[in-house]
Amino acid sequence: MTPAEFTAALDRLGFNQSSLARQLKVSDRMVRFWVAGAYPVPETVSLLLRLMLATNTSAARLPALTKGKR
Q: What is the pLDDT of residues 26-36, one digit of tens each?
A: 999 999 999 99
Tell me the percentage of the chain whose pLDDT exceeds 90.
80
Confidence of residue 69 (pLDDT cuts 50, 70, 90): low
Number of domains in the chain: 1
User: DSSP 3-state assignment of 16?
Assistant: coil
User: Given a cut of 70, is residue 42 above it in pLDDT?
Assistant: yes
Is the alpha carbon torsion for 51, 61, 39, 9 positive or negative? positive
Confidence of residue 60 (pLDDT cuts 50, 70, 90): confident
Which residue range forms the structural domain that includes residue 49?
Answer: 3-66
Over residues 56-60, the mean pLDDT reads 86
